[in-house]
Structure 1
Amino acid sequence: MNPRAVERGPADPTAGATHTDTGAGRGAGPGAGGRLAQVDALRGFALLGILVVNIGYMASTYHGSGLEDPGFASPLDGAVRWFVTVFFEAKFFLLFSFLFGYSFTLQLDSAERSGARFAPRFLRRLAGLFVLGALHAVLLFPGDILTTYAVLGLILLAARRLRPRTAVRTAVVLFAVTAAWYVLLAVGVHLAGGAGVDPGAAAEAERAADALRGGAGSVIGEHLRQLPDVVFLLAFFQAPAAFAAFLLGLAAGRARALGDLARHRTTLVRLQWAGFTVGLLGGVVYAHASLVRPGGAYQILALGVDVVTAPLLAAAYAATVLRITQGRFGGRTVAVLGPVGSVTLTGYLTQSLVCALLFTGYGAGLVGRVSPPAVLAIALTLFAAQIVVSRWWLRSRRYGPAEWLLRAWTTLTRPPLRRAEGTAAAVPAVPAVPAAPAAPER
């Protein structure tokens, strides 16, 4: 399994904090309770990217094995694989990780203003997130990252006093060290005579597909069988990059970078240039190694390239979405993406549930039986449905179901779910800004 391709979309456990800055531009100002609508829109966009990556792993046991599914080898199938690998894989979990760190600073500020003790509540939130993630991994999707976020959140809590410049430098060092590890590993594999795709990979993929098409016990058993490999990949390959993105979000939150985007327009433009040139080139190298020459030193080296270029492309995506929220179509953008971005934990878990019902023996058992173009179409359709349902839900409710549950555990209270009569929020008609209350790859 390709360690960097495993996206495992997170839910931002700190989402739901408010932002007191008021300098947001047109179409993206703070909504009700001081929320930044553009941040919710960015979360919504990231949730789409997570779904596009994760559904590929749930739809085919060949995905990430280094082998093409022999049942889907047409030029169109290949083109979709290239598209998803270049533009989506290993990018969107970085966006969510960044937003985790950013929202963490908002909750810190909120606790300081109210005089509340932050650490006990945050620790309960992390514990709740860990439990949700463990259940998610066993029942729905073994590539869960929520448990990893819960563990990394402990380190972030300890590092909360870092100055922005120190946080950025530490993040850069983490990316560089992780990339260097890949390079050294690639050199070692090359000197050892190279490697290659596991000769038993095809048989293993077929065995896993049969298990996932079985009953509930068979599905859960297969998830449990995969967990040790998944935990290893998360701990040694994805966690360092995720924590580096945490630190970048921490630095951005300390600087209120998303509260006054007009002031940072030059920086956003530079991120777009860097991401859509260097970052995209790295994505092409990563895709070529993953799809054309998998399993050897070249693929490992490409993973190292990806570690330092994927953050650039992720940053370019973020900069583009944020700039759109400030422009002519800003109101329309946040009206579409904002509500689903306000309930990302619920949205992420719902995506896994729907995909499990489609592709495993819980429901239709379609794993290995749907072509890549059809899988992509299912992802887009599912996300469109989530946009509609999220807008409807938030018209009369403050939180998504999973967000409410996590908040209740965090505060040890029963927070009101429904809005008081006469204060229904506004999930307004386009192009107004939605005032939705707030709220995360294999």
Structure 2
Amino acid sequence: MERIKSLDVLRGVAILGTFGTNVWIFSSPDGLAAVLGGGGPLESGLRALSNGKFLALLSILFGVGLAIQHASAVRRGARWPGWYLWRSALLLLEGALHYVLVFEFDVLMFYAVIAVVCAFVVGRGTKVIRGWMIGAGVVLVAEVGLLTVALYGSGLGGGGATDTSSWLDQVAFRLDHVLALRSEGVLVLPLGVLLFLAGAQLLRAGALEQSMRGDVLRRKLITWGLGVGVPLNALTAFGGTDWALVDRYLCAPVVAFGLLGAITALVHRMGERAGPLRQGVTAVGRCALSCYIAQNVLASILCYRWGLGITGGPLWTVCCFVLVSAAVLLGAWLWLRRFPRGPVETVWDLAYRAPQRLSSRRTRCLPGRSA
């Protein structure tokens, strides 16, 4: 399959945008409460710019990647899901290490589970895929609705900071509270199934291709995602913490589809022109896993007490986002000038291919298969 021009840009935007949500957890003394808690109109507006949207966009792009992997396997006549399950196992391991060692709100573990489920669905007929999407959507809406009603008026919050005096204390905290800290999976899993499969279907429908049908589909995504999704998202974002779940898990994903359409349309309009910003964002997209981990490590060093321990209000949060994002953009661009893929991606590729090579050698050594 020909390389999709907009895909790396979309991934780069999604990775940096996801950090736009996570940075509030790092930079505020209140930790997670900074995301779900109150704050003035300016702070609420800044949080609303990224909350949930880019995580949803990243989920859609994982679905696009899943569809590309499936199409490649079909063209080669390879068994599916086959080695894709090993890829998902590696993602689960990577996410678990990231959760324990770096950041308690890692999303890779959830993506690994979602990928396995969707791998068995993505090759089915359109009716089956739509059925799974509808089912996941119904479960998500029901969960968000019930939780919103149950928690309405209770002042939903994050429960204060999770920072501790040392890195080892943080590791111990994450291990001791794994069930509570992973409880978001109740909402992320059905949302992820819906968005993964939506991403796969959008790729097949031509949403990322430079064609007339792609233009038509992108206009629809922009109209509904930005024209309808943004006003709804604004209402819930400024509606107080009672609407936090609706805002993050229902309205923000609608906006993500609009972002997908708008960014892809912009990349196609720009053509081959690539200024410094686009080059940096593209590099982040090509080193997505490395940059996702790197930005959380850098923010930990800047903000946690075992590092520099700098926390503060919205101004510091914005400064932290700019500093870390600039470092990631520059670092990814410089790395790719010398190496073909990011450092984590390099280790990933070695781990992914090693058992395949071993299996291939064993197959060649079987009786009747030797040269």
* TM value normalised by structure 2: 0.86
Q: Which of 279-288 and 58-67 deviates more?
A: 58-67
Match of residue 120 from structure 1: 82
SS state at 2:51 partner: coil
Amino acid at match of 1:370: G
SS state at 2:312 partner: coil
Amino acid at match of 1:231: R
Partner Cα separation in structure 1 for residue 296 and residue 26 of structure 2: 9
Deviation at 1:106, TM superposition (A): 1.2
Matched, 1:43 2:11: yes
Match of residue 231 from structure 2: 281
Match of residue 205 from structure 1: 160
CA contact (8 A) 2:299 2:320 kept: no
Partner Cα separation in structure 1 for residue 305 and residue 167 of structure 2: 6
SS state at 1:389 partner: helix
Match of residue 420 from structure 1: none
Deviations 1:370-429 (A, max 9, x none): 2222212221232222222222221232111111111111111799xxxxxxxxxxxxxx
- Assess, with a 3 A threshold, how the Cα gap between structure 1 residues 112 and 189 changes in structure 2: closer, same or farther: closer
Q: Choose the corresponding residue for 2:313, options 358, 368, 371.
A: 371
What RMSD in Å do the two structures reach over aligned CA positions?
A: 2.6
Please list, as runs of the form range in 1=range in 2, the aligned pairs for 1:336-355 lying within 5 A after superposition: 336-355=280-299
Please list, as runs of the form range in 1=range in 2, the aligned pairs for 1:281-360 lying within 5 A after superposition: 281-289=231-239, 292=240, 294=241, 298-299=242-243, 303-304=245-246, 307-328=249-270, 331-332=273-274, 334-360=278-304
- Assess, with a 3 A threshold, how the Cα gap between structure 1 residues 165 and 395 changes in structure 2: closer, same or farther: farther
Partner Cα separation in structure 2 for residue 280 and residue 271 of structure 1: 12
Partner Cα separation in structure 2 for residue 156 and residue 352 of structure 1: 27
Partner Cα separation in structure 2 for residue 396 and residue 370 of structure 1: 37
Aligned length: 353
Q: Choose the corresponding residue for 1:399, options 341, 346, 351.
A: 341
CA contact (8 A) 2:139 2:190 kept: no
Deviation at 1:350, TM superposition (A): 0.5
SS state at 1:395 partner: helix
Deviations 1:28-62 (A, max 9, x none): xxxxxx32221111111111111111111122252
SS state at 2:184 partner: helix
CA contact (8 A) 1:276 1:316 kept: yes
Q: Choose the corresponding residue for 2:110, options 148, 151, 171.
A: 148
SS state at 1:363 partner: coil
Deviation at 1:318, TM superposition (A): 1.2
Deviations 1:104-130 (A, max 9, x none): 121122223334444332121111111
SS state at 2:216 partner: helix
Q: Choose the corresponding residue for 1:196, options 133, 155, 170.
A: 155
Deviation at 1:226, TM superposition (A): 4.0
CA contact (8 A) 1:219 1:361 kept: no
CA contact (8 A) 2:102 2:296 kept: yes
CA contact (8 A) 2:110 2:188 kept: no
CA contact (8 A) 1:125 1:409 kept: no
Amino acid at match of 2:160: A
Partner Cα separation in structure 2 for residue 168 and residue 49 of structure 1: 28
CA contact (8 A) 2:301 2:308 kept: yes
Matched, 1:384 2:326: yes
Deviation at 1:165, TM superposition (A): 5.4
CA contact (8 A) 1:125 1:410 kept: yes
- Assess, with a 3 A threshold, how the Cα gap between structure 1 residues 271 and 58 changes in structure 2: closer, same or farther: same
CA contact (8 A) 2:287 2:332 kept: yes
Matched, 1:271 2:221: yes
Partner Cα separation in structure 1 for residue 137 and residue 50 of structure 2: 19
CA contact (8 A) 2:148 2:245 kept: no
Deviation at 1:262, TM superposition (A): 4.1
- Assess, with a 3 A threshold, how the Cα gap between structure 1 residues 130 and 274 changes in structure 2: closer, same or farther: same
CA contact (8 A) 2:25 2:31 kept: yes
By relative contact order (CA 8 Å, sep 6+), the higher-ranking structure is: 1
CA contact (8 A) 2:280 2:332 kept: no
Deviation at 1:95, TM superposition (A): 0.9
Deviation at 1:82, TM superposition (A): 1.8
In terms of fraction of residues, the more helix-rich structure is 2
Partner Cα separation in structure 1 for residue 180 and residue 29 of structure 2: 14
Match of residue 365 from structure 2: none
Deviations 1:256-283 (A, max 9, x none): 4323354321221222122223211222
Partner Cα separation in structure 2 for residue 147 and residue 348 of structure 1: 13
Amino acid at match of 1:316: G
CA contact (8 A) 2:53 2:248 kept: no
CA contact (8 A) 1:174 1:240 kept: yes
Partner Cα separation in structure 2 for residue 119 and residue 273 of structure 1: 35
Deviation at 1:305, TM superposition (A): 6.0
